[in-house]
A and B are shown apart, each in its own frame.
Chain A
Amino acid sequence: MFRFLLARLGILVPTFVGVTFVAFVLIRLVPGDPIEMLAGERGIGAERHAELMAQYGFDRPLWYQYGSFLVNVLQGDLGQSLVTRRPVLAEFLALFPATVELSLLAMLFAVLVGLPAGVLAAVRRGTFLDHAVMGASLTGYSMPIFWWALLLIILFSGMLQWTPVSGRIDLLYFFEPVTGFMLIDSLLADEPGAFASALRHLVLPAVVLGTIPMAVIARQTRSAMLEVLGEDYVRTARAKGLAPRRVVGLHALRNALIPVVTVIGLQVGLLFSGAILTETIFAWPGVGKWLIDSIARRDYPSVQGGIVLIAGVVMLVNLLVDLLYGLVNPRIRHAR
């Protein structure tokens, strides 16, 4: 187990260097610079522009800037936002719970719907139900996020008026964040209707963000189940006279989960990229929207730092998933 962790960490180092480099270079390839953006419509004189660029160190050679950025990152200093002048880490941490809440709910939706759908499709292989599930999953997978979001908004927010279009909670509710998770905070705040409002704000973005992972999980579960259902030990389970529910839901599913857990882990990385779009569409105040806004403002430190942090979180989650994988698969747990 220890060596397994060590090997994992060994992979993390080059990944980390790669991510920081890409983050650093890409934002500088975008035309325009932070000073210009800050000046906005009014414009700025060439002299003053050069002066400010020098003040922030943007006139130094790129390799020097990248080097000092790396050194700072390793010391835990991600710099300050050029716009708000607050530390990037603080900005990120303030918004991160919103993204986590959205992603968790999306993943919950994806697993709670995708897993049973995949199991059902496998058990009823070749039937109308199977084709329906697979058709829906293919559609869900190929649907562009923004398009899907618009359809849902038109239906549920526009026509049915069931859900709001943006934000995390109605403006009339206000309470101090305790955990940063609106669902929990609204419960703690003890304001009638606050929780329902938070939930109604969360449903659509979570469904939109969870759709692709749900489709992937459904397909993967179906194929894993189909394979597992033909195994000898499933026949053994049936030979004991166990109820089909137990044979499928315990003996088969437990084994099918092994590949499915890996896939769920891989979805977490994709979830964050999906969150960027989803948060922007629903004006969800999370790190995804913040990153987009920072790019628009050419807020170099925020973009660089934000990407480093998001990458760090994704790597951490993947590490956790690897550990979880060992937990669901006894053959790995007992190997040394």
Chain B
Amino acid sequence: MALLEIRGLTVEFRTTLGPLRAVDGLDLDVEKGEIVGIVGESGSGKSVAMLAVMGLLPRTTTITAERLAFDGADLLSLSTRRRRALTGKAMAMIFQEPMTSLNPCFTVGFQIVEGLRQHEGGSRRALRARAVELLEKVGIPAPEERLGAFPHQLSGGMSQRVMIAMAIACNPQLLIADEPTTALDVTIQAQILDLLVELQRERGMALVLITHDMGVVAETAHRVSVQYAGQQVELREVKALFADPRHPYTAALLEALPERSSGRLLPTIKGVVPGLRDRPPGCLFEPRCRLATAHCRAVPPPLAPAGDALARCHYPLFEGLPQNHPGTAERAS
């Protein structure tokens, strides 16, 4: 049994334009102690899916799933009280904007201690000592002094370290990091990623790393889920994915990596992610896919096994060649 089991997770927001399906039938297992990367363009539902797991979406949101379970416990049927007992303790999350994620009115120490007190309790002094230890752990110099600092006195990198300290305070089994480095300077980005991977290894916790940076995934993740427009298009071991992508979208993402591009200009994927109103009836990637056929336009492909991968494509790629594609014969000749 996986630590986190997600089957057919669908999230819909009520908007003035009608329901907006931000996540559409997501399947994902996260095993104990593994790093899973979730990649995809902006708006592909990466954050929303994980917020749904954490139970942090607005109450008006419709969340459905065949199964959404953490450590065997069904999250959707759990009472809010029992669910809260998991949140911040067994599963924790850090966010994209560290500067706005800390409460400006409370000191760093207060905000770290608060979660500890909620889930584990202890004397003031013991909690304080734990907070100092945690700050030390995440590489903050002079941790004793930092306890009394307010968030506006910290840099972005420092804030993210504090967020990490807060998240790992109760030794979670699962840490979800939602683009933890996007808002930071390049030099700091690497430090924060190293810190996360180090903590993950040391504590044996599972780490879900959301990013739109394929490079980050290559360096850290064990497995990768590629998301497109709320759907999962490929699920794979990281090495295999980089060596031989199955889905044309994954292939395009990899081509967009600077170190892989041959020309002087970075190749980009033409077009944009379909919005609420312009969802194609068939494959969602079809309007931007150079291999799309009439079949792709009419029939939405299921997420199906393709060799060692799961891919949502009628003509999954093997060694760069689409299988059973009507056009391959012509192209080959």
Contact = CB atoms under 8 A, between A and B. Distances in A.
B150 A240 contact: no
A254 B103 contact: yes
Contact of B118 (A242, A329, A331, A334): A242
Interface stretch (B79-87, B190-198, B286-294, B310-318): B79-87
Given A232-B95, A242-B114, A242-B118, A237 B103 contact: yes
Contact of B104 (A233, A239, A240, A243): A233
Contact of B101 (A232, A243, A330): A232
Contacts of B93: 239
Given A254-B105, A330-B150, A334-B150, A240 B100 contact: no
Given A240-B118, A254-B106, A255-B103, A235 B95 contact: yes
A240 B114 contact: yes
B224 to A, nearest CB: 24
13 contacts: A232-B95, A233-B102, A236-B95, A236-B101, A240-B88, A241-B84, A241-B88, A254-B105, A329-B105, A330-B150, A331-B150, A334-B150, A334-B152
Contacts of B86: 241
Contacts of A239: 54, 56, 87-88, 92-93, 167
Contacts of A232: 95, 97, 100-101
A232 B160 CA distance: 13
A255 B163 contact: no
The residue among A233, A237, A334 with the most chain B CB atoms within 10 A of its own CB is A233
B300 interface: no
Contacts of B92: 239
B166 interface: yes
A330 B88 contact: no
B297 interface: no
A238 interface: yes
B61 interface: no
B85 A241 contact: yes
A251 interface: yes
B115 A240 contact: yes
B212 interface: no
Contacts of A233: 100-104
Nearest to A242: B118
Contacts of B167: 239
A117 B89 CA distance: 33
Interface residues of A, number: 20
A227 interface: no
Interface in B13-57: 54, 56
Contacts of B114: 240, 242
A-B complex: 6 closest residue pairs judged by Cβ atoms: A241-B88, A241-B87, A240-B88, A240-B115, A233-B103, A232-B100
The residue among A238, A255, A328, A334 with the most chain B CB atoms within 10 A of its own CB is A238
A77 interface: no
Interface string A232-261: 110111111111000000010011000000
A239 to B, nearest CB: 5
The residue among B54, B103, B163 with the most chain A CB atoms within 10 A of its own CB is B103
A238 B106 CA distance: 15
A231 interface: yes
Contacts of B163: 236
Nearest to B152: A331
B119 interface: yes
B46 to A, nearest CB: 16
Given A330-B150, A331-B150, A231 B100 contact: yes
Contacts of B104: 233, 255, 330-331
B153 interface: yes
Given A241-B119, A242-B114, A236 B102 contact: yes
Interface in B93-133: 93, 95, 97, 100-106, 114-115, 118-119
Contact of B115 (A241, A328, A329, A330): A241
A251 B151 CA distance: 14
A240 B103 CA distance: 13
Interface in A186-235: 231-233, 235
Nearest to A335: B152
B172 to A, nearest CB: 11
Contacts of A251: 103, 106
B103 A243 contact: no
A263 B97 CA distance: 30
Contacts of B84: 241-243
Interface string B167-178: 100000000000
B251 to A, nearest CB: 35
B250 to A, nearest CB: 30
The residue among A235, A240, A243 with the most chain B CB atoms within 10 A of its own CB is A240
A51 B115 CA distance: 81
A241 B103 contact: no
Contacts of A329: 105
Contacts of A236: 95, 101-103, 163, 166
A237 B86 CA distance: 14
Contact of A238 (B56, B85, B97, B100): B56
The residue among B54, B105, B118, B152 with the most chain A CB atoms within 10 A of its own CB is B105
A238 B118 CA distance: 12
A77 to B, nearest CB: 46
A331 B103 CA distance: 12
Nearest to B102: A233
A251 B103 CA distance: 7
Contacts of B88: 239-242
A229 to B, nearest CB: 10
A54 B283 CA distance: 99
B116 to A, nearest CB: 9
A330 B56 contact: no
Contacts of B95: 232, 235-236
Contacts of B115: 240-242
